[in-house]
Chain A
Amino acid sequence: MSFIEYGDTIKDGDTAIVFLGHESMFPVKVQHGTVTQTKYGVIRHSMDLIGKKYGSKVTCSKGGWVFILHPTPELWTMNLPHRTQILYSTDISIITMMLELKPGSIVCESGTGSGSLSHALIRTVAPTGHLYTVEFHQQRAEKAREEFREHGVEHLVTVTNQDVCKNGFGVSNIADAVFLDIPSPWEAIGHAKAALKAEGGRICSFSPCIEQVQRTCLAMEEYGFTEINTLEILLRVYNECESAYLLRFRYESCKVMRLPAWLITESVFPWSRVQLHRGLLAALGSTASYSVLACANHFGYTEVK
């Protein structure tokens, strides 16, 4: 197992995802002689996990069962221990595409935070690219290093413990892309430019408040960035039970009906920044009355050069 390569069987030292059921899962470090408690009973690693295939059904001591899944950055994002607020896969996907990341890309990131985005970036740039990530909080930087080691990706990432706004990324003229998720990204734009390759590159900054976005846009323009674009992506998840139920209903009544709006549910992630955006969008006027409801799932603004 590794986060950048699929393996078939579960091995000692692997990080595996225990899938309990609908949206309920947690990560586990596989170790000989260890046990893990679940609501369905005990999983004994030596007997129940090691040597089994990823994707197997494992019966726990109380007779209940769980699935053991191969880790991916997306599963990790849903299960990692939060040390900060994190970016979720919806935002990560658009960031990855807009930064034009691919195997071999050199990326700079700050801050590392809980490493949600970092894992996704490493996955995309492996095996020949590299991630330089900067985190000014010493404990968080340490923890991130430890996780990268455990996940078998330490050779693809360099964690630097410094203030990106003051000291930059610790590298110059090598990056294809820079990503910023810090409170004052405008203070780091100069350093971002220094980190990017001389022939150019792409930059993206993530901010929850429009005021931050405005200051960042001005700073980007000042440093000669072009093609500045601000965007926002919202995820809507259609509730499983209701969807399935609706479909059965359709069959039974032999009539095709339009999906009623009330059956559409919002996404799975409760998000503390929501309040802020309700305020913001209301202030924005014209489109707001329509947007507020849709924004219950807001993840912030993404700027792409």
Chain B
Amino acid sequence: MRSRAAEGARRSASGAGSGREEEEEEEAAVMMAAGPGPRICEGECAVLKRGDVFKAVAVLRRRKIIFEKQWFYLDNAIGHIYGTTFEVTSGGNLQPRREVEETTTETKEAGTDNRNIVDDGKSQKLTHDDIKALKDKGIKGQEIVQQLIENSTTFRDKTEFAQDKYIKKKKKKYEAVITIVKPSTRILSTMYYAREPGKINHLRYDTLAQMLTLGNIRAGNKMIVMETCAGLVLGAVMERMGGYGSIIQMYPGGGPVRAATSCFGFPKLFFNNLHEFPLSKVDSLLSGTFSTEMLPSEFEDNALVEEESNGLIDEKPTSIRETEEESITATAMEVNQTEEQETMDINAEDVEFKDNKEKDNKENVREKQRKQWERRKKLIEAAALLREKNADGLIVASKFHPTPLLLSLLEFVAPSRPFVVYCQYKEPLLECYTKLRERGGVINLKLSETWLRNYQVLPDRSHPKLTMSGGGGYLLSGITVVLDKGKSDFSNLEALKMEEPSSKRCKVQDLQC
């Protein structure tokens, strides 16, 4: 098996020889045996891309995918290199797009300005029905575009740039091309921000990038991650750690949500050192009253009660039953299989769940007990890791108020380690900032925000595209230091107050009304 895999790798490396067409299928099969490579494999997670629109899907045979108002099957894509662009043909097949020589139009005729172009709504000679007929005949998008150009009376009078723009616009509409790319933090965070920003608390991808850098995320770390971003932040941290080191995910409610994490398609190995620990147990762990002697069922009940009294949770906690069955990989597949736009809708997955449940109730009970036992074992492990209080960093990105989270979770972090807190709004971070100053044990506190701007760069047509600001969230970062027990918190607070001259204070008060 191993030698076969090695051979596959060698063959693909020296690949592009003759007779490639025939070999392609066989080679693909060999590559699949070699495990996750740069090729699209059945059962893996992939991301579809059309223009700037992304969608994560599971690659499965004979499964209809709907993406950008088109439907197709992924069967033909299996075995191709990630990054291949496909054309959708009639019948929903994907065909690798051959490099087309751009139709270098015979005589480039173009106007200089638009002084004589009048918008009478009659420049296009093809009617709506004509276009529909063309489409129904299954004519290639490329040809439809050509027809549209030929039947546009104003096209020749347009400037060269306007013609370019016209063609681009029509191509986008009629040429059905889809690129299949390998999931990564870059792609998934862009996708989530565009498709479902609410699920990730409007964490923009450049902000996530800052978090990974400010938090010094790298192989070998022991990280604490507290997130309610569908598992996207967890996935980003896992990608940067490459399976080295350990992660303890703190979760509210009945269990961690990892819908986005499973889109990354990480190897199993990456999950070996991924632990989880309920937020509701943090206080008892810190006070030393945490007990692992409880029966699993008791634990669950207690967990629910405690969460409700915790005040942190503003939503009803997900019931334990649901999350229990949530095997890490199964979730994503399930979710991705729902052919609707709501790729990551958790509700959708609940439904499928209940269906399964009724089928095999008896097996479930035994299975459930086994899982509960495993859960408890993992809980003990995670508690032990936290008790060492030597984590290499803390990442928080949640819908909860950051202050109580920080004040308790920082206890588990070693001195001279970075921490980063994300919040959609600035005000909670301001409060968190002062509370941390009062607490002490942190330095280099910084409250920041990034703006991102894309540019269109084309000859003689370069300009900024859009500024995104205010919508990407804020970060509070800092470094832990040895907490000075001798000095009272009070003196710190006093010192802080002393920093501000009273004259300045008046100024703000005046401005207030």
Contact = CB atoms under 8 A, between A and B. Distances in A.
A124 B218 contact: yes
B416 interface: yes
Interface string A274-300: 000000000011110011001000000
Contacts of B18: none
B455 A94 contact: no
B209 A57 contact: no
A102 B240 contact: yes
Contact of B453 (A53, A70, A231): A231
Nearest to B85: A226
A188 interface: no
A93 B415 CA distance: 23
Contact of B450 (A233, A249, A253, A284): A233
Give the interface size bracket for B toward A.
Answer: 35 or more
A194 interface: no
B269 interface: no
B242 A97 contact: no
A210 interface: yes
Provide the main secondary structure of the chain B interface: mixed
Which of A217, A244, A255 is packed against the most chain B CB atoms within 10 Å?
Answer: A244
A97 B186 contact: yes
Interface stretch (B59-67, B323-331, B504-512): B504-512
A32 to B, nearest CB: 21
B457 A234 contact: no
Nearest to B185: A97
A74 B434 contact: no
A72 interface: yes
Which of A232, A238, A303 is packed against the most chain B CB atoms within 10 Å?
Answer: A238
Given A55-B415, A72-B216, A247 B240 contact: no
A199 B81 contact: yes
Interface in A136-161: none
Interface in B452-475: 452-459, 462-464, 467, 469
A236 B474 CA distance: 10
A243 B430 contact: yes
Contact of B414 (A8, A249, A285): A8
Contact of B455 (A123, A213, A238): A213
Contacts of B448: 235-238, 267
Interface in A193-218: 198-200, 210, 213-214, 217-218
Interface stretch (B154-162, B363-371, B372-380, B478-486): B478-486
B504 A245 contact: yes
A102 B267 CA distance: 14
Contacts of A301: 455
B467 A291 contact: yes
Interface of A: 4-6, 8, 19, 53-57, 67-70, 72-74, 89-90, 92-94, 96-98, 100, 102-104, 120, 123-124, 126-128, 198-200, 210, 213-214, 217-218, 228-238, 240-241, 243-249, 253, 255-257, 259-260, 267, 284-287, 290-291, 294, 301, 303
- Minimum-distance CB pairs A-B, first 9: A55-B415, A103-B242, A55-B416, A93-B213, A54-B416, A97-B209, A230-B455, A234-B451, A93-B209
